[in-house]
Structure 1
């Protein structure tokens, strides 16, 4: 058995332990092709003049690496500069140290809900800390 087969079995077993609604997302049809989804991100989600765009992720060595590789594999430009990758775990750690910890009210391990929740957390923490900083200047 190839080493990658073990990872696939472990992943499948992990998904079997997740909420039924999250598991259902794995089999819902129709699905867009990866290329179409990446083009949709470029066309509808990325503002013109991407030089100022930060990309927030929960750990800079997983999701952003995978999506960057997907853009490259499909011959599409990565819509952010590598120095603009931000790790929300660092932001969460700083926020928790000051007593700010937004509660999760969405389904876990559902890609769209995870992304929306993470965006909400970054925006809320950023706003709280930016306002506090501005008031003391």
Structure 2
């Protein structure tokens, strides 16, 4: 039986920085901070030519950035350019992964390192493939904000694991999921913020 999760970390490697850009690869992994557990990741390279034919684009600056990355990071880009499997086949595999590891679409949260990047870009790729994101938009969460929360509530950021395989979508998703688990467990163990006893004046109702 598949592990069930309420939280998933998403990472995309893309050919741009805004919705409508083509996606090189998808990494997705479930995590459970209470159990201190990160699951096995999903990984897929997407058909680049199918995306471009569907109206998605590549940014020149991003393409130049890719040429400056290590060979290991560039492999997915090369594979994407040569990939011949239908676009919706890979995306359906991703949706099946989510379905297999959750109870229903409204029961889980989709995290990414900036909720204004990965999730809206993925939604647009799904649209081009004739598919739709099954999760509600309000369950899209920002990992970048989560990393700052311990300091925002008056504590210290926990020691976070290092990423040893940057710019490979599944490795990045696992890395970020481990960060999320560490941050959430750290905050769960923190004493109540000093604001609980004496909130700042601007937070006290008039």
Contact 2:161 2:175 in 1 (8 A): no
Contact 1:71 1:78 in 2 (8 A): yes
Residue number among 108, 114, 119 corresponding to 1:59 in the alignment: 114
Contact 2:160 2:179 in 1 (8 A): yes
* Structure 1 position 133, deviation (Å): 6.2
**Could you say which structure has the greater relative contact order, defined with CA pairs below 8 angstroms and 6 or more residues apart?**
2
Residue number among 46, 51, 68 corresponding to 1:17 in the alignment: 68
- Which residue number in structure 1 is paired with residue 141 of structure 2? 86
Flag the structure with larger Rg: 2
Residue number among 184, 187, 199 corresponding to 1:126 in the alignment: 184
Matching of residues 25-40 of structure 1 within 5 Å: 25-28=76-79, 31=83, 32-40=85-93
Secondary structure (helix, strand or coil) at the match of 1:55 reads strand
C-alpha distance in 2, partners of 1:133/1:43?
A: 40
C-alpha distance in 2, partners of 1:98/1:114?
A: 23
Cα RMSD of the aligned pairs, angstroms, is 2.5
Secondary structure (helix, strand or coil) at the match of 1:26 reads helix
- Which residue number in structure 2 is paired with residue 45 of structure 1? 98
Moved more, 59-68 or 29-38: 29-38
Contact 2:147 2:157 in 1 (8 A): no
Aligned pair count reads 129
| Larger helix proportion of the pair | 1
| Larger strand proportion of the pair | 2
C-alpha distance in 2, partners of 1:34/1:127?
A: 37
Secondary structure (helix, strand or coil) at the match of 2:141 reads strand
Moved more, 88-97 or 53-62: 88-97
